[in-house]
Chains A and B, each alone.
Chain A
Amino acid sequence: MKFLGGLPAAVMLAGTLLATTAAIAAPKTTLVVGMAAQDVGKLDPQMAVSTIDRTAVAWMFNGLVRFAPGSVNPATIGPDLAEKWEFSPDKKVWTFHLRHGVKWHGDYGEMTADDVVFSLNKAADPKRSAFAGDFAAFDKVEALDPYTVRITLKHPVPSLLGIVTNYSGGYIISKKAYEALGDKFNSHPIGSGPFEFVSVTPNQSLELKANEAYFRGSPKIKTISYRFLPSNASRDLAFQSGELDLEFGIADQTWVDRTKKLPHAIVDVFEPAEEAILNLNETQKPLDDIRVRQAIAYAVNRPELIAWQGKDVSREPKSVIPGGNLGYVDAGLLPHDIAKAKKLLAEAGYPNGLTIKVIHTQLPGMLAQMQVVQAQLKKAGINLDLQIVEHATFHQMIRKDLSPIVFYSAARFPVADVYLTQFYDSASTVGTPTAITNFSHCKVADAEIHAARTEPDDAKQIALWQTAQKKIVADVCAVPLVETLQAWVRTDKLDYGYDLKGSLSLGPLITETTQFK
């Protein structure tokens, strides 16, 4: 009796043990990500401008074409929603053949040419897109049949595929969902990617679930919890305590070294690099004198900046556009030479040095970089009188030409045309109706930048971009400082399913192949 009475208990114990073993053996399918954020902003991919929003929309949306996961090299661009495409000899008419049977998240049916036409037209509309400028060359987008889309351009562009890739304005959204949801689409996005939107808890987290009908197969990760944790210190602590599997890091050697030492941590440092540049306003005194601009260029000490920021996360810039861009060239930057800087200043009429008022942001990372530059310039007798303002104010003030020197750090689509156009084409000069981010009022390379845009011959196009960079460097419109890569940390159990070398969304892509080991 006693024996029999013990039996059920033994069976239960064995059962529990088995269940426990199974639970241990089955890999985790919930990914918890820690992001340096207060909240998400816009989840409509064509309105998503911050790293916070971009990282997440990249998991939910597709483009007509895409970069190979883990790469930012335009040469790896391959099919995504479009299976194949062809273009006319003058590269002005592009025809895309869409994949059949791609389902939108939720009950929004199948993706067709109508959605693509709608998305690209929306992306080109400044009222409904933050990236309308990228679509300036678009003449019309038409659906030839439900699975064929034709894009006609006003003139050839350097990289049409770059515009319709899985990045910025290139993401394709569901027309039906956008029309049904209206403004709510921003907080309830409908895409076709491996993960679909579930909910947002303001200031806490964004929750996603696997899109089981994803056309590349059902994702191995089943849910993603994207947590907003603005404090760097406590985000790191949460990673250490195992509450996070993946975390947005800090591009700083101390952080990288410390984090690498943690058990089960893998630090990923990847492209694109954001290039920090001093933009010198050539139309304002005393920077209208090229000798003063040259003096600043000679006074800047790039190797010192890199040693300070850290070798793992920094790269020395060699041109006025970030390294790795198509068309990039070593443009012959002026070397560090304090004596020459002083001599040039004296020639320009400032033998005792000079003081320049500079408006700068209080964002800690950017402020620290600028303070190093401030100390370097001081050695040559150039005093930067930093006026520190709050970040949103900084952005507003520099767009009104209020700071003769503008420190700006940015990564762009990696084709020379984009960076050159936004920062050095006179049409982009701040204060003009077509302003983007030309803070230096640079105009020396307009001819090359414009000619390259429509140059059909690839080699000639690259040569034009290279000449443009050399001219900008010679005129000292801008002084490159340092290139900073992206840094994240993940648990060694998390396998992306691809080799992470770069990500244009600035966060790691989570794909259908990403899994826990």
Chain B
Amino acid sequence: MIFYVIRRLLAAIPTLLAVLTLVFVIVRIVPGDPAVAILGDRATPDAVAAMQHRLGLDKPVWAQYLDFMGHSLRGDFGTSMVTGRPILQDVGAVLPHTMDLTIASMLVGTLLGVPAGVVAALHRNRWIDVTARMLSLVGLSFPVFVSGVFMLLAFALHWRLFPVIGNANLDDPIDRLDKLVLPALTLGITMAAYITRVTRSSMLQVLGEDYMRTARAKGVPWRRVVWRHGLRNAGLPVVTVVGLYVGILIGNSVLTEIVFNRPGLGKIIVGALNQRDYTMLQGLMTIYCFLIVVVNLVTDLTYGLIDPRVKQA
């Protein structure tokens, strides 16, 4: 197991290096000049040139690249070109919010999606299956900025159960939870819709297997057959999808954060993009990629837990 983990970690290094290089290139390919974005529409060319010098944009691209790689590898992402604040400080301030949302939505999505998928598979083509499939279609079809506004209209304005502005005080667990419910449900329901479909089809496949019939023939209770023998075998594709989906959740949080007025990585990245804040974008994209690499690693390790064959390989 230890070797397996180490091997996976080493494999992540070239990925991160490639990502850093890509990030550097992509950020600079996008047209738009940060100096102009910072100084506004009344700045003279002199002022723009002075700002470019201050931001280090007048250096040759290769020098900027070496600076960037050197600093990134030391974990120093520098300061924002626009606000002058250290990037890690800004990211650190919102990271707990993003993690809260990601984990809570993942829980909602998995806890709703897996049972729904199993039940739908067991009642294949009966009303319960049709209803589950219909609901998951509805869940998949609604973009977050529509379902989120509906959620706010119903639960924040009509029933006044939750606040509209979701910037929680991290030191207050009740407040943190209070402001997490609506966005986590919004994101989680979409994810549940997806997970339901995957679980259902994977489960259907497993249900037809010989070992399932054998287990039943041996007299193992049906409930146990389904949850122990069925779901455990149907679980691998579900774990893969959950793992992939966490990446999507981190990305999708952009819209959710904006609709629910939550702080988070997504909101920062949109702001940085509008302002052409190169250093901030570089830092954020690197952190995003790092998170995704970690999630993939965790997913791989989970395979090992579910399926002993993976560990031995």
A residues contacting B by CB (< 8 A) are 38-42, 47, 49-50, 126-127, 129-133, 183-184, 186-187, 201-205, 227, 229-231, 233-235, 237-238, 240-241, 243-244, 389-393, 395-397, 399, 410, 422, 433-437
CB distance from B183 to the nearest CB of A (A): 11
Residue contact B38 to A41, C-beta cutoff 8 Å: yes
In the bound complex, residues from chain B placing their C-beta under 8 Å from that of A41 are 38, 82-83, 275
Residue contact A49 to B42, C-beta cutoff 8 Å: yes
In the bound complex, residues from chain A placing their C-beta under 8 Å from that of B30 are 390, 393
Given contacts A126-B47, A202-B268, contact A49 B40 (CB under 8 A): yes
- Out of B32, B89, B148, B160, which one reaches A392, CB within 8 Å? B32
Residue contact B157 to A241, C-beta cutoff 8 Å: yes
In the complex, what distance in Å separates the CA atom of A384 from the CA atom of B260? 38
Does B251 have its Cβ within 8 Å of any Cβ on chain A?
no
CB distance from B208 to the nearest CB of A (A): 47
In the complex, what distance in Å separates the CA atom of A14 from the CA atom of B258? 45
Does B173 have its Cβ within 8 Å of any Cβ on chain A?
no
In the complex, what distance in Å separates the CA atom of A503 from the CA atom of B261? 27
CB distance from B287 to the nearest CB of A (A): 14
Whose C-beta in chain B lies nearest to the C-beta of A418?
Answer: B42
Given contacts A187-B83, A395-B36, contact A204 B44 (CB under 8 A): no
Residue contact A234 to B149, C-beta cutoff 8 Å: yes
- A-B contacts, 16 of them at CB < 8 A, read A38-B267, A38-B270, A39-B271, A47-B39, A49-B38, A183-B84, A187-B84, A187-B85, A202-B83, A204-B263, A230-B267, A234-B152, A234-B259, A237-B157, A241-B164, A391-B274
In the bound complex, residues from chain B placing their C-beta under 8 Å from that of A133 are 42-44
Residue contact B157 to A127, C-beta cutoff 8 Å: no
Whose C-beta in chain A lies nearest to the C-beta of B82?
Answer: A41
In the bound complex, residues from chain B placing their C-beta under 8 Å from that of A186 are 83-84
Question: Which among B39, B261, B271 has the greatest number of chain A C-beta atoms within 10 A?
Answer: B261
In the complex, what distance in Å separates the CA atom of A233 from the CA atom of B39? 29
In the complex, what distance in Å separates the CA atom of A187 from the CA atom of B83? 7
In the bound complex, residues from chain B placing their C-beta under 8 Å from that of A410 are 41
Residue contact A396 to B36, C-beta cutoff 8 Å: yes
Given contacts A41-B38, A127-B50, A392-B37, contact A243 B165 (CB under 8 A): yes
In the bound complex, residues from chain B placing their C-beta under 8 Å from that of A240 are 157
In the complex, what distance in Å separates the CA atom of A204 from the CA atom of B165? 10
In the complex, what distance in Å separates the CA atom of A395 from the CA atom of B36? 8
CB distance from B179 to the nearest CB of A (A): 12
CB distance from A134 to the nearest CB of B (A): 8
Given contacts A186-B84, A392-B32, contact A203 B42 (CB under 8 A): no
Residue contact B32 to A395, C-beta cutoff 8 Å: yes
Given contacts A187-B83, A241-B157, A397-B31, contact A126 B258 (CB under 8 A): no
CB distance from B216 to the nearest CB of A (A): 52
Interface string of B127-170 (1 = CB under 8 A from A): 00000000000000000010011001100110010011101000
Question: Which among A47, A202, A396 has the greatest number of chain B C-beta atoms within 10 A?
Answer: A202
In the bound complex, residues from chain A placing their C-beta under 8 Å from that of B156 are 237, 241
- Out of B43, B259, B275, which one reaches A231, CB within 8 Å? B259
Whose C-beta in chain A lies nearest to the C-beta of B162?
Answer: A241
Given contacts A39-B271, A233-B149, contact A130 B261 (CB under 8 A): no
Residue contact B267 to A126, C-beta cutoff 8 Å: no
Question: Which among B51, B84, B152 has the greatest number of chain A C-beta atoms within 10 A?
Answer: B84
In the complex, what distance in Å separates the CA atom of A130 from the CA atom of B44? 8
